[in-house]
Each structure stands twice: as C-alpha cells, then as structure tokens.
Structure 1
Amino acid sequence: MDIQDKVVVITGASGGIGLATAHLFAEAGAKVALAARSADTLTTIVNELHTHHHEALAVPTDMCNKDAVEALMDRVFEQYGRIDILINNAGQAVRGNVADVDIDQFRQIFELNVLGPVEAMQAIIPKMRQNGGGLIINVSSIVSHMHLPSIGAYAATKAALNMISDTAREELTSENIRITTMFPNATATNFGKNSLATPKTNQQGPRPPQGGPEPDSAEAVAQKILEAARNEPHEQYMDRSV
C-alpha cells in the first residue's frame, strides 16, 4: 500500500513502538490518529508532529473499554471520512510462573492484549467495508512461538491474537480487508518496566543469554511495521530471532 495520505490509527501510541511508529508513518505522509490513555502525552506528541507539518490527531482511549474503542474509530472516521490502516499495538505483560501467576493480572492483560484488538477490529471493519477495504496490523510477539519461563501468560495472549489474526484474514479476504501479524523481538522500550509482576514469584522476566543479540530499537520495529504496511505480508518478522 502507498502510505501517502492514508489514514492510520495507532493504539498504544504514547511511547515505545507505538510512538516510533507514529513518527515514521507521519514522516511517510500518512495522517495518523494516536490512541492511548494519557491525554497529556498524546497532545504533546501531536503538537510536535504538527510543528513538522504532519497531519495528526490525538484520541485518548482506554483500549479495555469497548465504548471508548468504538468512539475512537467514530472520531477518526468523522475527521477524515475513512480509515485505511489500523495498527493494534497497545499491550502489556505479566511476569509469573504458570503455577502461581496472578489470575486477576492475567485476566487484565488478556482484556488488553486480546479483547482490545478484537473490539478495535469489530469497530473498524464496518468502516473499512464502506471504503472498499483496508489493512489491519496486529502487533504480536516472537515469544508467542516460544516457551520462556515466567512469561507464559503474556505469550498465551499473543498466541491467541495470532489465531484471531489468521482466522480473520481468511474470513475477510473476499472483502479486501487484509490482516498482517507483526512479530517483534525483544525491544529496547519501557515495556518490561511497565509489566505486571506476580508478587509470589517476583519474576523479573527472561533475559537474553550472555553474548546474545542486543534488543531491537523501537525505531527498528517501527520500520518493519511500515514495511509491512507497504508490502502487506501475512506475517512480518524482524531480521533475527530472540
């Protein structure tokens, strides 16, 4: 897809991969609508984009609130008359062994990592149908293909998102709505610091082995997301495994 002048909704856009993606898509000529819970942070980001003459819209949104998610899509559609790309990036992890992971925390991240993207898809698909199609990029994780101690719950949410993406791709192909699943590796952001932790185990999460590759930058992941938007593969990976 040619990104110039396309309307792109990015969730989890207040930091990390989402923020880097917002900047990169804006620089590529897209009209970006940024969603996250922090209204002040989004306003600051959008004001900065405006100073560089980029088209940007801030829509504070709690991705765990179905009404808020629907309002997000309505606001963007009202502003631009179309939505070409949805990047489902908002997410959170929980650390804890399967034997004692906090179930309420597991439920919390399932709500954000799985139900949030599904609700966003349900809100945007009718609008994409009106405009003859569109692209949805669901940001998963390479750990959804792995078995790493202490992050099984998080990996499970991303594995669920993978299945949703694969199934929706088959269901929507005749309507020209395409689905790409993005698989970042370990990334140098505050994602780990913002993870929930089960007090019983107080796990700090897996660490790359000594001498292993350094985490990717948020900007490198954003570049791959932009590449995915342009080429629309079913799955987009980074250039190496964790």
Structure 2
Amino acid sequence: MDIEDRVVIITGASSGIGEATARAAVAAGAKVVLAARRADRLCDLAAELGGAGGASGSGGASGSDGVRAIAVACDVTDQAQVSALVHAALEAFGRIDVVVNNAGQGLQAEVEQIGLDDFRAILELNLVAPLAVMQAVLPILRRQGSGAIVNVSSGTTFGDVPGTGGYVASKIALERLSAIARNELKGTGVTVSTLIPFATDTEFLRSIRAGRADAEAMTEGAVFDTPDQVAVAVLDLIRTQAPRLDLVPTAYGGSR
C-alpha cells in the first residue's frame, strides 16, 4: 500500500513509537489521526504536523483542506471513546486506510507474584483494546475494499524471561489474534500485520504498571533502538502488508 494521502490512525501517539510513526507517516505524505490520553501532547504534535485544532472527540477539522493531522483524546480501553475516535477520523478525512495499534503498557513480576488486577488491566490495554479498535474500523475497511491494520507486539515474546509472563501473555495473544484475523480477512483487500520491535528507547520502562525497578535492571546495558527506527519498520509493514516483521536480533531468535 502506498502511504501517500492515506489516512492513518495511530494509538499511543503522544510519545515513543506512536509519535515517531506519526512524524514518519506525515513525512511520507499521509494524513494522521493521533490518539492517546494525553491531550496536551497530542495537540502540540498535531499542530507541528499540520493540524487544525485541539484534541476532541470530533477532531475539530471536518473537511479542512491541507490538514495533515488531527488530535483525538482517547482512552482505548473505553469503547465509547474508540467509537468517537473512528467518527472523528471519518469526519475530518472522510475515510480510514490504516490503523496502527500501538498503545500498550508493561508489567514485570514473576508469575507467583502477578497482581490479578494488574494482569487484568494489562490484558485490557494490550489485547482487548486493539480488538475493540479493529472491530470499530473493519466494517469501514471492508466497504472500501482496502485497508491495513498493524498491531504492535514485543520482542519479549521470543523468550521465556522470568518476570515477563504477564506482559508476554498479553502480547502473544495479540500476535495470534492478528494472525487469525488476517486469515479471516483473505480476499477482502484488508490485511492485519504484526510488528515485533526489540528494546526501544521510549517512556515504556518509566510507565510500566508494576515492577519498574526489576524491568530497568533486566534491560541495563541493552542496546536500544530509537523510536524513529521502529517507525521506519511500521511504514515498511504498511507498504508491504506482510504478515509480520520483527526487529529482534538473530542472537535472540529474531531475523534482524
């Protein structure tokens, strides 16, 4: 899929991989719908990328010529807000071509110590929310006869590292959900792909739900990719619409 003039929804767009993907997509000629809970950051980014107003459930840019970005404050674990996000994209740009399900959060705890409330919250954000977004956009993409969904997983799924069980469970489930959805959509012109980044220099470790100190210790000395490097991979996956792409080094079982 040629990304120029395509409309791309990006969740978790206020920082890290989501923010970098938004910048890369606009640089490639796309129009972006920026979704995250931090409205102030979204508004600043949208203005920088060629936006036309503040973050809201309606986007504030209906039919505006030359607008390249809108900001929509959205908690993707709230189904009503997901519906409002999709409505805002259609109101502003008239179509949706690509969705990048990037919003997510980490959890570090050995299986015996995982707080069940923490685990439920991680599943809700990392697995249920991407499903809700897919369900919200798929009828639109089917009617268009084209579209691409990219679900962002994690390189931690390549190993059985102690303390990562809860987080990895959410991401492995997302990978399988994506692969099955891809098969179900054969012949529709709509594809679902999975991106598997490696360690990336973002706010991820600072916003981990539980076990931050343990996670920071585990990654100490690791060589981190930049968000820009991951954004390039996201755009490559949109263009090729391949089933999956990983940025995991071969030493860890990946293809890089």
Q: TM-score, normalised by structure 1?
A: 0.93
**1:68 pairs with one of 81, 90, 94:** 81
* Counterpart amino acid of residue 71 in structure 2: A
Q: 1:42/1:107 Cα in 2 relative to 1: closer, same or farther (>3 Å)? A: same
| Pairing 1:203–2:224 present | no
* Counterpart amino acid of residue 105 in structure 1: D
Q: How many residue pairs align between the two structures?
A: 237
Runs of 4+ in 1 over 4 A off after TM superposition: none
Aligned residue in 2 for 1:36: 36
SS of corresponding position for 1:204? helix
SS of corresponding position for 2:203? coil
Q: 1:126/1:42 Cα in 2 relative to 1: closer, same or farther (>3 Å)? A: same
Q: Does structure 1 conserve the Cα–Cα contact (< 8 Å) formed by 2:196 and 2:248?
A: no
Q: Does structure 1 conserve the Cα–Cα contact (< 8 Å) formed by 2:155 and 2:248?
A: no
SS of corresponding position for 1:92? coil
Aligned residue in 2 for 1:112: 125
Q: Does structure 2 conserve the Cα–Cα contact (< 8 Å) formed by 1:62 and 1:68?
A: yes
SS of corresponding position for 1:42? helix
Aligned residue in 2 for 1:25: 25
Q: Does structure 2 conserve the Cα–Cα contact (< 8 Å) formed by 1:10 and 1:88?
A: yes
Any stretches of 5+ residues in structure 1 without a counterpart? Answer: none
Aligned residue in 1 for 2:230: 221
SS of corresponding position for 1:216? coil
Map Cα deviations across residues 44-74 of structure 1 (whole Å, 9 max, x no partner): 11111128x7600101100110111111011
Aligned residue in 2 for 1:148: 161
For the residues of structure 2 that align with 1:122 and 1:76, how far apart are their CA atoms? 15
**2:240 pairs with one of 208, 227, 231:** 231
Q: TM-score, normalised by structure 2?
A: 0.88
* Counterpart amino acid of residue 50 in structure 1: G
- What value does the CA root-mean-square deviation take over the aligned residues? 1.8
Q: Does structure 2 conserve the Cα–Cα contact (< 8 Å) formed by 1:36 and 1:60?
A: yes
Deviation at 1:150, TM superposition (A): 1.1
More strand by share: 1
For the residues of structure 2 that align with 1:223 and 1:17, how far apart are their CA atoms? 10
Quote the sequence identity (%): 39
For the residues of structure 1 that align with 2:44 and 2:193, how far apart are their CA atoms? 29
Q: Does structure 2 conserve the Cα–Cα contact (< 8 Å) formed by 1:12 and 1:91?
A: yes
